[in-house]
Structure 1
Amino acid sequence: MKLENIPNPIIIQNFITESGASYPTLPLSFALFGLPLHTAPVVLVNHALTGNAQVTGENGWWNDLIGEGKTIDTTQYTILSFNVPGNGNDTFVIENYQDFTTRDVAKIFLQGIKALNVEQVYAIIGGSVGGGIAWEMLALEPNITQHLIPIATDWKSTDWMIANCFLQEQILNNSSKPIEDARIHAMLCYRSPESFKEKFQRTVNENLNIFNIESWLAHHGDKLQKRYQLASYKLMNQLLKTIDITRNKEDFETLITKTKAAIHIIGINSDLFFTAKENRETFEELKKFKENVFYSEIDSVHGHDAFLIEYKQLDHLLADIFKAETIKN
């Protein structure tokens, strides 16, 4: 696998956010994997809340899906991934997190694609908030991709999602241990009651004299606190709350009828965050006015995080999209 190290980020000039905040310069760091740019179809991968542009290779968070001989094969595609500006993976920090919405990040990513002289990508794929950014990109630039693959996400944040993000924001702004406590709450949304039951069976950590579920949650909180910045968490939570391709724009049907891209929605039957029911409703709405839309579902007890766990199912669900292109080439 070939990793192209890009020494300098793209500099986005004179960016005005939806809220009217002005940023004279915004650094957009990114990574490229697989075949060199402009020699193969490009797959854009959008990371989730605590993710980054390192989608494959050493410390790659989606290594089971992306790599040599994998579902998204780095010997057949160019893999592009941006860091959300302010996500903590470079020196740039955004303190005024409420300046930004998901659509702002989508605009920044689109400017990044343009700066790389890419007119259209083969696919945009992303899970959770990364998939929300993907939806926003398609609404802004209907011809930007041939395939949109939003996983465990939707084109809008529901009341349930907004409520959870509101609670996250309260914890992040008011707790004495904001990252740890917010992460503990978030893990309850990322997994499911059945997942916890299967994993822990009400067992006790004899050394700590607490339930194993408690020590596991505390471990995840402590682990994130050691590698993640508070400002980054606040920003990414804000993005999760503000997904809505129709806000101050046209209605859903009017926006999506502008694109010829195939839309492949992948839900998770146990997702407590972006529910499968909501995904199926989006699919049913799309089918009323668009032919090349598809819905599939990951069957898992593991909840929202299943898109990071159930690689064999994802391979099966995505094979036709990526391996057909491989055969064609």
Structure 2
Amino acid sequence: MSAGCLASLGIAYRRVGQGPRHVLLLHALTGGPDAADGPTTKGWWGPLFHPGGALDETGCTTWCPNLPWSCYGTAWPKESRPSVRAQASLLADWLEAEDLSFDLLLGGSLGGMVALELALIAPQRFRTLGVIGCGGRADAWLWGANAVQRAILDNRCLTDGDAIALARRAAMLTFRTPEGLGQRFATGEAIRGWLDHHGAALAARFTRRSYRALLEAMDGHDLGQERGGLESALQRLEAPLHLLGMRPDQLFSPASVEELGSAARAAGRLGSLAWLDGPHGHDAFLIDLPALQRWVARVLEAPCARS
């Protein structure tokens, strides 16, 4: 594993492995470049990089940058208003400066939004696209869930740590499902302790400024804006788009993933649409790693053709 930062653009990243397949991996809202396990850290997709994993370090070389407006080493962008499109544009500049191209562009949740934009801005740099747990545009449910978190983060009566922790507690209920939480927790005390744990854990490693900025970027996600609509935008892709949705999902509904898939099919750019079914909800792509491994492996092996 190696770390880097392109000084002229301020993009911090990790590079893992020395394999022949090149993968660009984009993290979710509060993730970061540490997708793989390190000497003292546990990566958010660690098992995928283990021997025999879908991103095995002998088979793949994976770059994982810190998204602009996140707080893990990437310089704060000069753009006054955070947006997914601006995040993708800055990453495209980084790829241009480093002259990087990839066999697979892979992203989940917010990372999936940025991956979609990046594939439109720099389509020639990717042979295959894998997008997990997001639609082609933000919707009312996402705006509402983010508004609750922003209201907490904007409350100046709260310290930075308390605001982050409380906003995270609210967010966790959108990342999971009533079924999954019901199976896991039998008492109110138990789930309150779980929420407290996740709130304190994020407060210890994240910043209020980044949290709010990334929520704002998510809110503005609309792939078809100024491109003639979603189907017209997807026609600009030069690689097949493989989608993975979660059922159920309290953050990005299966209907929003279906809408993206239908538009990609109509545009002749859909590679496949698959689902992770189970009780974990939106966070299934961070929890159900055996199923996730199988999907990533299939996408890596898929022919670079579009339907």
Q: Determine if the TM-score, normalized by the shorter chain, exceeds 0.5.
A: yes
Identity percentage of aligned residues: 26
- Measure, in 1, the Cα distance between the counterparts of 2:105 and 2:184: 33
- Higher-Rg member (1/2): 1
> Counterpart in 2 of 1:17?
none
Q: How far does residue 291 in structure 1 lie from its aligned partner after superposition?
A: 5.5
| 1:125 alignment partner in structure 2 | 106
2:29 to 49, 55, 63: 49
AA aligned opposite 2:122: E
Q: Which has the higher strand share?
A: 1
Aligned partner of 2:245 in structure 1 is 267
**Does the Cα contact within 8 Å between 2:11 and 2:74 map onto a contact in 1?**
no
Does residue 11 (structure 1) correspond to residue 8 (structure 2)? The answer is yes
Given residue 105 of structure 2, which amino acid in structure 1 is its aligned partner? Answer: I
Q: 1:264 to 1:324 in 2, by over 3 A?
A: closer
Structure 1 residue aligned with 2:93, among 108, 111, 116? Answer: 111
Q: Does 1:239 align with 2:237?
A: no
* 1:1-58 CA-partner distances (Å, limit 9, x unpaired): xx1233x43422xxxxxxxxxxxxxx1111111117xxx3320000111111111131
* Cα drift, residue 281 of structure 1: 2.4
Q: Of the candidates 81, 103, 123, which is equivalent to residue 64 of structure 2?
A: 81
Query: Secondary structure of 1:65's partner?
Result: helix
After superposition, where does 1:1-329 map in structure 2 within 5 Å? 3-6=1-4, 8-12=5-9, 27-35=10-18, 40-58=20-38, 59=41, 60-90=43-73, 92-93=75-76, 99-118=81-100, 120-174=101-155, 176=158, 177-201=162-186, 203=187, 211-290=189-268, 292-323=270-301
Runs of 4+ off more than 3 Å = 91-94
Q: Distance in 1 between matches of 2:282 and 2:216?
A: 18
> Secondary structure at 1:227's aligned position in 2?
coil
RMSD after superposition: 2.0
Aligned 8 A contact 1:265 1:283 in 2: yes
How far apart, in 2, do the equivalents of 1:70 and 1:318 lie?
Answer: 10
- When residues 291 and 323 of structure 1 are mapped into structure 2, their CA distance, relative to the original with a 3 A threshold, is closer
Number of equivalences: 296
TM-score using structure 1 length = 0.84
Taking the aligned partners of 1:222 and 1:10, their CA distance within structure 2 comes to 32
CA distance in 2, matches of 1:287, 1:185: 35
> Which letter does structure 2 place at the counterpart of 1:180?
A
Any unmatched runs of 5+ in structure 1?
Answer: 13-26, 205-210
Kindly indicate whether the alpha-carbon contact (under 8 Å) linking 1:253 and 1:286 is maintained by their aligned counterparts in 2: yes
TM-score normalised to structure 2 length:
0.90
> Which AA in structure 2 matches 1:4?
S
1:162 is displaced (CA, Å) by 1.4
Task: Compute the displacement of 1:92 (Å).
Answer: 4.1
CA contact (8 A) 1:124 1:149 kept: yes
Letter in 2 for 1:192: T
Q: Is this contact kept in 1: 2:241–2:272, CA < 8 A? A: yes
Aligned partners of 1:179 and 1:221 also within 8 Å: yes
Q: State the one-letter code of the partner of 1:194.
A: E
